[in-house]
Structure formats: C-alpha cells, structure tokens
Amino acid sequence: MTLRLLHFSDPHVQLPRWRERSLRELGPLRALATVELWKGRGRDYDGALDKLRAIVRDADALRADFCILTGDLTQLAHEEEFALARQALEPIVPRLLCIPGNHDRYPLGTTANKLYEKYFPEASLLPRAITDQVAVVPVDTVGELSWPVLSHGRVERPQLRQLERTLGDPAWAARCKLVLTHHSPTRRGARRDWPLHDLRGAGALLRSCASGADAILCGHVHDRFDDAARAGRPRVICAGSATERNKEGYWLIEIERGRIAAVTRRRLGGATA
Ligand SMILES: [Fe+2]
Ligand SMILES: [Fe+2]
C-alpha cells in the first residue's frame, strides 16, 4: 500500500489590509518586521491565505494521507494571522503534522509568544510512528523566542543525542523515518546558508541523521529542492514557501514498504511541476 504525504512549508499567512494597520496596532517589534513587508515581502504574500486554502483542497484531491507543515505559518506571529491560518487548515487538522517556524515565535512585548500552541494545540514536537510504515521525528530549531531579521536557528547537543537514540530505536527499524525541522541545514546543492539565516549546528544535525533518517523535511529557505543523500549526510527535502508569489507549490512524497518511493514537485492545483 502506498502512503501519500503532502509536504508544504512557510505559508506566511499575513494580516489582511496590513498596509492600513497602525504601528500601535502592530507593536514596536512588528513595526520593525513590517519594514520587510513594505520592501516587497508583503506583496509576495498578499494571496497567501487563499493559496493555503487551495493546498487544503489539493490534499483531498491528491488523497494525501497526511500533510506535513514545517513552520512559518504566519508572517508576524499576530493573533489574527494564527486565527486565519487555523481556519484555513481546519479540514486537514486531523491529518496535519506541523511544527512552528521562527516567524511564529516573534515575542509579544517582552514575553514568549504561545499563540502557536493556542491555535494548534494538537501539534506536537514528540517523535511518533504515524503508521506502520512511517515515523516522524520533529527537532525544534527555533526555540521559544525568535526575533525579526535575526532568523537563524539552533540545534543543541542534547537534542541530537535524543535524535540519535530515536533514529536507532530497533522498534522503528522497518519504518521510513522523517526528521522534521523548520530551518534547513543547507541551501540547495549542500551550500551553506548565510549567517543571520542559517542553522547553527547544521553539520552535526546532518551527521546525526546520516545513517538513521530517510530524509530531513524542512523549510525556512524559500527554495524548493530535493538534495540526494551523500557521504555523511541524509537526503534533504526543503519545501520552500508554498504560497510565495510565482513560487507556489509543495512536494508529494509517496512511501512504499517503509521507504520513500517517489517525491514529486507539485503546483497549486496538484499538477506535477
Ligand atoms: Fe519562511
Ligand atoms: Fe523561517
């Protein structure tokens, strides 16, 4: 039996009519992030919510058994954005596996932002077998707090030790093991990401996954690529941003007998890209 996974990332649902919002409404930190919107990002994501709804319809049309969302649901971690994202994703929530991204962790004032947990209480960062063929192993690269502009992530040694124990668990030997991270450990072609955007500990993460993981599924880098495994590193499947203007899309990953059988790039609407 073939299991079908729809992997998408970085939908960046943003405030409707953000151009009309006052800085007081956004808060000082978001005002800083809003500079990015005015520089062009806002225009690139004006249709993000409708595109997210289209992906939800595609999940049905493509008979996806599970949908995997590797973070950056929102643009500014604003409550209104989370509410809209939740509403759009509602039909697939029972089969949705999602993790937060750095944009979902912009603080509220000076305190950590827990709106992701409020709107997606079903989401879990615990490793789990989702069928007898597949196990997912989320690794949090964001932490509790993230700041606009400084968008790098981090993976710590205790997380990697736990990851290696999980991947080596004989109970999961026959399953396809997919490690889920928000930050991609590399850019396309195993190139390093730039310092304010990269993943600290990326090399160690790749080594920890090299023998036990079938692939790392990630986002953050807004480029959709599928880099094959090579010596000392696993396959890296980065979903890019599903809703960015002129770059829309996602991956359809098919699993057979506990291994990845096919990975196809899809446009919104489900057609092969
Ligand atoms: Fe992103
Ligand atoms: Fe990100």
In this prediction, residue 65 carries a pLDDT of 98
Task: Say how many Å lie between the CA of residue 176 and the centre of ligand 1.
Answer: 26
Note whether 239 and 266 are within 8 A (CB).
Answer: no
Start-to-end CA span in the chain (Å): 25
pLDDT tier at 23, thresholds 50, 70, 90 = confident
Whether pLDDT at 148 is above 90: no
Residue 87 banded pLDDT, cuts 50, 70, 90: very high
| Residues 69, 49: Cα–Cα separation, whole Å | 15
Of 220, 235, 155, the closest CA to residue 190 belongs to: 235
Mean pLDDT, rounded, for 160-171: 96
For the chain, what are the domain ranges?
2-266
**Which ligand is closest in space to the CA of residue 240?**
1
207 CA distance to ligand 1 centroid (A)? 24
Closest CA to 146 of 205, 83, 72: 72
Percent of the chain with pLDDT over 70: 99
- Residue 24: the pLDDT is 76
Q: Give residue 179's pLDDT band: very low, low, confident or very high (50, 70, 90).
A: very high
Instruction: Give the confidence band of 20 by pLDDT, cuts at 50, 70, 90.
Output: confident
266-270: Cβ within 8 A, 24+ apart: 266/58, 266/62, 268/51, 268/54, 268/55, 268/58, 269/54, 269/58, 270/58, 270/61, 270/62
- Mean pLDDT value across residues 247-251: 98
Neighbours of ion ligand 1 (CB under 5 A): 10, 72
Ligand nearest to the CA of 101: 2
pLDDT confidence tier of residue 18, bands split at 50, 70 and 90: confident
Residue 28 has pLDDT above 70, yes or no: no
Which phi-psi region, left, alpha or beta, contains residue 241 (left: φ > 0; alpha: ψ -120 to 50)? beta
Q: What is the mean pLDDT of the chain?
A: 94
Output the CA 269–ligand 1 centroid distance in Å: 22
Say what the alpha-carbon torsion angle 218, 97, 213, 153 is, to the nearest 10 degrees.
40
CATH (one of 3.90.1330.10, 3.60.21.10, 3.40.50.150, 3.40.50.720) for 2-266 = 3.60.21.10
pLDDT digits (tens, 9 = 90+) for 90-136: 999 999 999 999 999 998 877 889 999 999 999 999 999 999 999 99
Is pLDDT at 44 greater than 90 in this prediction? yes
The per-residue pLDDT for 205 is: 98
Q: How far away, in angstroms, is 257 Cα from ligand 1 center?
A: 33
Q: Are 162 and 173 in contact (CB under 8 A)?
A: no
For ligand 2, the distance from its centroid to the CA atom of residue 154, given in whole angstroms, is 12
Distance 137 CA to ligand 1 centre (A): 20
| 56-68 pLDDT tens trace | 999 999 999 999 9
Residue 93 CB-half CA count within 13 A: 12
The pocket of ion ligand 2, defined by CB under 5 A, consists of 72, 101-102, 220
Phi, psi of 27 (to 5 degrees): 85, 155
